[in-house]
Amino acid sequence: MASTTTLLPASVRATLPPLYGQEETPDPVVYARFFTPDSYWTWLATEFDPEEGRFFGLVDGFEAELGYFLLEELETSRGPLGLSIERDWHFTPAPLSTVR
């Protein structure tokens, strides 16, 4: 299982705006990308509440939709081959319209 510091290190955590921090932004910035290496699911994080461990962003799985997802769920979920969810270490923050 990936640890919190691996999946969301302090350096990345510090860049994420709080929940509702980009609510009025028409094209919010994505600060972190998570993915399952053994399937097509991705999570694009635009905001984060460190106390609840809750993100807001785009979840792209069966369909793409904006919503909330939990750090704990990312840490404990597995893809179809049993692989852990990973953070894209090479991801550069960019507007959602660009990342999508």
pLDDT over threshold 60, residue 87: yes
Show me where the domains of the chain are located.
4-18+30-99
pLDDT above 70: percentage of residues in the chain: 95
> How does pLDDT run across 6-48, given as a tens digit for each residue?
899 999 999 999 999 999 999 999 999 999 999 999 999 999 9
Q: Is the pLDDT of residue 4 over 90?
A: no
Return d(Cα 7, Cα 82) in angstroms, integer.
17
pLDDT tops 60 at residue 96:
yes
Note the pLDDT of residue 15: 94
User: Per-residue pLDDT averaged across 69-98, rounded?
Assistant: 95
Q: Which residue has the tokens 């635009």?
A: 46
